[in-house]
């Protein structure tokens, strides 16, 4: 009886192991290739934090931006950088896809047009709130305190939008 109980336990354990192996095999096959980890620029865009653990802080003249949910670019410009989110009664967050920012021809949501940005002008807009044509951006655009290497990574990410 004890011998038979050992055989049953071994059989049950073998079934569990085989089911676990089958599950892992099926799960790994359904996943395709392993996901590519997000870039530092993507992490900053979506979370407001860098891979190095730095929190990207902001300064804003609008108190609600400081206390509400705005902690990163995505909260105003959306997951694809297309904007369209109303920031004030008169201002929608613009499309900040790299193609739109760097083209003289692209429509600039919320404005009648803009001079094409280059990387240095994008940095100036993000850090100082100054548009490509030198005017001050609306106060709904926070001024971000971001390290140069993180800013470069953020621009690289904008190029994928």
Tens of each residue's pLDDT in the chain, 161 residues: 667 766 777 666 666 655 555 545 554 444 444 444 579 999 999 988 999 988 888 886 665 555 455 678 888 898 899 888 777 667 788 889 998 888 876 555 445 567 889 999 999 999 999 998 898 988 888 899 999 999 999 999 999 98
Task: Give the angle 74-76-127 at the CA atoms, nearest 5°.
Answer: 85
Token duo for residue 88? 């004030």
pLDDT on residue 35: 46
pTM score: 0.69
Contact criterion met (CB below 8 Å) for 92 and 83? yes
Maximal CA-CA distance, the chain = 89
Gap between the terminal Cα atoms of the chain: 68
């Amino acid at each position: 009886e004890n011998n038979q109980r050992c055989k049953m336990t071994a059989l049950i354990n073998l079934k569990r192991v085989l089911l676990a192996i089958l599950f892992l095999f099926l799960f790994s096959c359904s996943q395709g290739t392993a996901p590519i980890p997000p870039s530092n620029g993507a992490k900053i865009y979506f979370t407001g934090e860098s891979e190095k653990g730095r929190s990207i802080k902001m300064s804003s003249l609008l108190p609600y931006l400081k206390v509400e949910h705005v902690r990163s670019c995505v909260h105003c410009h959306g997951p694809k950088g297309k904007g369209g989110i109303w920031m004030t009664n008169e201002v929608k967050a613009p499309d900040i896809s790299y193609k739109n920012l760097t083209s003289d021809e692209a429509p600039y949501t919320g404005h009648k047009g803009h001079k094409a940005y280059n990387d240095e002008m994008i940095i100036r807009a993000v850090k100082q709130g100054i548009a490509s044509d030198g005017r001050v951006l609306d106060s709904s655009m926070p001024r971000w305190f971001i390290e140069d290497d993180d800013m470069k990574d953020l621009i690289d990410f904008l190029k994928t939008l």
